[in-house]
Chains A and B, each alone.
Chain A
């Protein structure tokens, strides 16, 4: 998974998609998550980092991660070959 090159992520949590003109505000947890994803880390390593940094249980973390990931795909923030592939 790869964050598309048109995406600009600011340290204050503002995310701008220069291809679509969409912008999003992330809370600190979301910002940390997207930065980890941008570094191309797999779910296991992201989970370990997030569990260590935040007061969150394993199950909630996993649920939030996959919801967030689906949202990134939906808003074309993560590159996908087939734009209709929402798997």
Chain B
């Protein structure tokens, strides 16, 4: 059977020590049995490693940061679409999702398919809303307080014992063991990510994660649980292993069914010594370790593309247990011409 030709645009080619999911998403898409994929890499910075990786992208375009305005970002994507005829777009950053969700219909009218959560789904799982989310959907969530100023630290101290986790709205999390450390983390995070800064109760246990894909109708199309085996100083997984954990799978299916989640997602959970699961975060997109799921038998990028195109996708229920991923760093030798092209022309 011949494969269907498809032009896929992907962001998040920053395969650094804090990697975006773009490169593994592309790897998954290229392994599709149904699509012959032509890849358009959309980058924010001219040193994102995915730009320089051989045989990864067919074209590269620089796009403006969402902070410069949703309109500017979407207009740039439309301009690229006029040249390249994008069929499916997979955005991979939390910070850009709002813009793409907002203009989902406008993009679709031009033939660019996405498969993203609704604005309501996106907002109700935000870190400062997580306590309400836990209550609404019946899942255990650590207590939290939204900090708007350091004056609220005493309020936090009345509620939680140290240590606490201090988190930014989109990224960054620091463990703080006393008031001074809370202040340091507060200033660092608020300067970078704005307000509120979230102070979350510390739950002792093992961090486990699930990558999942919801079809928007309550069905879990894919789900693979994983435990990080090697964690970088930025808290990112540098190695991980798939688990056989029915409780995690049930929790994932329950959440997707109740919320009718649409798109890729990652659940971050803490499993306590008594076997309880605490939901500490929901990432509203495919995580950077997605290729482990592909390797374990669930090609999530491929399934997401099909859902975006309106195909009928059957849930994948099997995956290989005990499959591991180990990341590595690798020095590529790059010609100056490529760097010059992306820096000057904003495209390659």
**Chain A interface residues (CB < 8 Å from chain B):** 6, 8, 16, 18-21, 83-84
Contacts and interface: CB of A to CB of B under 8 A. Distances in A.
A10 to B, nearest CB: 11
Contacts of A84: 273-274
Contact of B229 (A6, A18, A19, A21): A21
8 contacts: A8-B322, A18-B244, A19-B245, A20-B206, A20-B243, A20-B271, A83-B275, A84-B274
Interface string B286-323: 00000000000000000000000000000000000110
Contacts of B229: 21
B212 interface: no
A21 B227 contact: yes
B324 to A, nearest CB: 9
B8 interface: no
A39 to B, nearest CB: 23
A57 to B, nearest CB: 35
A19 B244 contact: yes
A24 to B, nearest CB: 13
B241 interface: yes
Nearest to A16: B322
A83 B208 CA distance: 18
Which of A8, A18, A21, A83 gathers most chain B CB within 10 Å? A21
A55 to B, nearest CB: 35
B83 to A, nearest CB: 45
Contacts of B275: 83
A84 B274 CA distance: 7
A18 B243 contact: yes
A23 B243 CA distance: 12
Contacts of B206: 20
Contacts of A6: 244
A7 to B, nearest CB: 10
A74 to B, nearest CB: 10
A43 to B, nearest CB: 27
Contacts of A20: 206, 227, 243, 271
A84 B208 CA distance: 20
Interface string B220-233: 00000011010000
A66 to B, nearest CB: 22
For the complex of A and B, the 9 pairs showing the least CB-CB separation, nearest first, are A21-B227, A18-B244, A21-B241, A18-B321, A83-B275, A21-B243, A19-B245, A6-B244, A18-B322
A17 B135 CA distance: 32
B308 to A, nearest CB: 32
A20 B240 CA distance: 12
A80 B3 CA distance: 51
B249 to A, nearest CB: 12
Contacts of B274: 83-84
Given A21-B243, A83-B274, A84-B274, 4 more contacts: A18-B244, A20-B227, A21-B241, A84-B273
Nearest to B208: A21
A21 B241 CA distance: 6
Nearest to B244: A18
Interface in B8-43: none
A16 B273 CA distance: 18
B15 to A, nearest CB: 24
B244 A83 contact: no
Contacts of A18: 243-244, 321-322
Contact of B243 (A8, A19, A83): A19
Contacts of B226: 21
B140 to A, nearest CB: 16
